[in-house]
Structure 1
Amino acid sequence: MNIANMAQRLPSPQPAWVIRFARLGLAAKGVVYCLVGILAFMAAFELGDSSDQQAGKQDVFRFILKQPFGKALLAVVVVGMLCYTLWRLIQAIKDTDNRGSDAKGLGSRIGYASSGVVYGSFAFYAAKLVIGSGGGSGQGEDSRQTLARELLSQPFGQWLAGAVALGMMGMGIYQFYRAFSGSYKKKIKESEIRQEVKGLLVRAGKVGYVARGVVWLIIGYMFLRAALEANSREAGGSQSAFQFLESSAYGSFLLGAVALGLLCYGVFMFVRAKYEIIKAA
């Protein structure tokens, strides 16, 4: 018996710091989505001083900042989002989920990296608020408007912007797939969730992914409209998607339903933070 060979076959211990980063990052994402859902619901039914123009992710950071000990609370969220960013980049670069290097695997890893970059930008914005710079009134050009403007300024810009719009709509369809196929719960250790709340928490994830799908489809549609009309101002993010919903027939109820779905998604992020099987090596 060759003990040295046996030792080489044993799995190496998971780097504990990566697992902690992942769990803290998922919890921070849960906080953000819960607050987005709450603010959007308040905007839908005109509760308090909220409006659909104050329910995007960046507005959530300003909301946190206004609370007692707001800077300290927001700093914790910044740390959490930085942890989430690092975890996603590790997943993309180190391929900790064993996605491989074929087309499907590379697509998944690019998705991880894109998610990391997006939440890294959110962390950067929130950090600027913590140190007292930036923030403004939140009424400037949306980041997706900036992207649309840059794409439209390139050769074949409308085609490029259209391709990005279809990608965004594809992301929305993928959220529906995750919800109805049940793939969103594959990595969750369901056996460790208390039986009396297991069904409720798992259903919250399904509702949350459906709500995310709706928002992504609307964002993609607005981006497509920007491409077709060669007008970057037609594009927008979640804030614009909320405005789109509220301006439609039965808008308050539609926005309220999506808001509750995003709140459910936030709750499911807490479930993932505690029960997800996280691969770090």
Structure 2
Amino acid sequence: MTAAVTEETTWHDWFKPLARLGYGARGLVYLVLAFFIVGAAFTTGTGGDSKDAVRFITQSTVGAVLTPLLIVSLAGYCLWRVVQAVFDTDDHGAKPAGLAVRAGLLGAAATYGFLLVYTVSLWWGSTISSGGGSGNEITSAAAAFIGAGPVSLILSTVFAVVGGAHIWKAARRKYRDHIQASEPVMRWIDVAAIGGLTARGLTFLVIAFLLFRHGIASGTEKASLEAALKFIAGLPLGSWLLGATGVGFFLFSIYSFAEAIWRRINVEDA
């Protein structure tokens, strides 16, 4: 009888599923956002932002099950983005373009880190006080930090670079370098990736513009996803543009779910 060969379990074995859950969590947030935005396009609203999507998920009927899973998934996504940026698992390199992409990965980790803390605050508050704890203290502290003029200008540059990178990634189909799927599946992923990345990139460029205007004028207007959607809704044919943004976010959610399944999580290169 041949003895079974057992391999030593490493941190790679549990980290990969955690990273894939992270992509799934991002997809879930953008899926809810897409429905909010498309609904708002028909009712002259603006659709809210990612915090509204998280609040909807956590306060839904299945929120008691979804919220802990969402917290773990967001944590996995943040950790994976940090690993990607610090250890350059996707070989972006140390040239200016590569460093910009890696800075964008760290920015994504920070953004979803805020969303993670907000989700925990909602879950903790509802656990203790049956619906209390809205996360207002966290949101106010973040708004005060971002509201500083120099910080707004720095963040404006970051969002502009990340937004441009999204559009470039969609135009050049660079996402294909990191997805391992059959060609028939890739053709469907192309539709979701190109539409989703372009919509998200354009939204980031709008946020960059609002942050720049805020930093120059030192005004009181917010520069957030909600503010960007409100800006889009105020443009000529705003309801149509808002609806197109919602469709783009829906495609981005599909792209995120595809990454959860077929994305190369090459954490061994870290």
1:163 shift after superposition: 4.2
Unmatched runs of 5 consecutive residues or more in structure 1: 1-12
The 8 Å contact of residues 207 and 223 in structure 2, kept in 1 or not, is answered as yes
Q: Is 1:174 matched up with 2:165?
A: yes
User: In the TM superposition, what whole-angstrom CA distance separates every residue of 1:163-187 from its partner, at most 9, and x where no partner exists?
Assistant: 4323322222221111111112221
Q: Is 1:210 matched up with 2:203?
A: no
Q: Is 1:279 matched up with 2:266?
A: yes
User: C-alpha separation between the residues in 2 aligned to 1:16 and 1:57?
Assistant: 30
Q: Is 1:43 matched up with 2:29?
A: no
State the match for 1:242 in structure 2: 229
The 8 Å contact of residues 142 and 237 in structure 1, kept in 2 or not, is answered as no
Q: 1:18 aligns with which of 15, 36, 50?
A: 15
1:278 shift after superposition: 1.4
User: In the TM superposition, what whole-angstrom CA distance separates every residue of 1:66-95 from its partner, at most 9, and x where no partner exists?
Assistant: 321223212211111011011112223333
Query: Which amino acid is 1:117 matched to?
Result: A
User: C-alpha separation between the residues in 2 aligned to 1:60 and 1:173?
Assistant: 25
User: C-alpha separation between the residues in 1 aligned to 2:55 and 2:11?
Assistant: 36
The 8 Å contact of residues 41 and 259 in structure 1, kept in 2 or not, is answered as yes
Cα 1:201/1:105, change in 2 over 3 Å: closer
The 8 Å contact of residues 223 and 234 in structure 1, kept in 2 or not, is answered as no
**Structure 1 residues 49-128: aligned runs within 5 Å:** 51-52=45-46, 54-128=47-121
Question: What SS does the aligned partner of 1:190 have?
Answer: coil
The 8 Å contact of residues 199 and 248 in structure 2, kept in 1 or not, is answered as yes
User: C-alpha separation between the residues in 2 aligned to 1:167 and 1:116?
Assistant: 13
Q: Is 1:269 matched up with 2:256?
A: yes
Cα 1:169/1:105, change in 2 over 3 Å: closer
User: C-alpha separation between the residues in 1 aligned to 2:40 and 2:186?
Assistant: 30
Question: What SS does the aligned partner of 1:55 have?
Answer: coil
What TM-score comes out, normalization by structure 1 length? 0.81
User: C-alpha separation between the residues in 2 aligned to 1:79 and 1:14?
Assistant: 16
1:101 shift after superposition: 4.3
What TM-score comes out, normalization by structure 2 length? 0.84
User: C-alpha separation between the residues in 2 aligned to 1:213 and 1:103?
Assistant: 19
User: C-alpha separation between the residues in 1 aligned to 2:104 and 2:175?
Assistant: 15
1:33 shift after superposition: 0.8
User: C-alpha separation between the residues in 1 aligned to 2:160 and 2:251?
Assistant: 21
The 8 Å contact of residues 148 and 235 in structure 1, kept in 2 or not, is answered as no
User: In the TM superposition, what whole-angstrom CA distance separates every residue of 1:206-237 from its partner, at most 9, and x where no partner exists?
Assistant: 00011011111110111111122121x23411
Aligned length: 253
**Structure 1 residues 248-267: aligned runs within 5 Å:** 248-267=235-254
1:202 shift after superposition: 1.8
Unmatched runs of 5 consecutive residues or more in structure 2: 1-9, 126-131
State the match for 1:30 in structure 2: 27
Query: Which amino acid is 1:175 matched to?
Result: H
